[in-house]
Amino acid sequence: MAFEEIYEYIEKDTFLKYFRLAIVICAYLIFRKYYSQWAAKKQSEHQQKLDEKEKAEKPARDAEAQRQLEESLEKEANEFGWGKKTRKNVKTTQAVLEQLAEETRQRHQTAYDAQEDADIEDLLED
């Protein structure tokens, strides 16, 4: 065997135990790398399928949400007291303004969070 010189320094059984352990660890590290790549590929394929499915269903969901919004606005408009067309216009305008206000609020919150993160980074770097 090629390890005869090593056996002069350590026992044969001890060397074989550690050699086997080293082989097992190396095999684990190699296979773990390939498994991680395979798992990441499968996960990305699965996520892509979910995204495509959601993208295909989005127009139907948006149309249903718009229909429900119009129905609720129509129902609220009937309780408001003006002409039917005017009530609907007022409620639609109100809904649009609320949506714009929410988007603006989100933008300001995001900008505030980014500024706060920058301030914290400056403090952490010093």
Quote the DSSP letter at residue 8. T
Summarised one tens digit per residue, pLDDT across range 80-122 is 556 667 777 777 888 888 888 988 888 888 777 777 776 677 6
SS3 content of the chain, % helix, strand, coil (to 5): 90, 0, 10
pTM exceeds cut of 0.75: no
Angle of the 84-125 helix axis to the 12-80 helix axis, nearest 10: 150
Token digits of residue 8 = 């002069």
User: Distance between CA atoms of 49 and 71, rounded to whole angstroms?
Assistant: 33
User: Distance between CA atoms of 59 and 125, rounded to whole angstroms?
Assistant: 47
Summarised one tens digit per residue, pLDDT across range 12-49 is 888 889 899 999 999 999 999 999 999 999 999 999 99
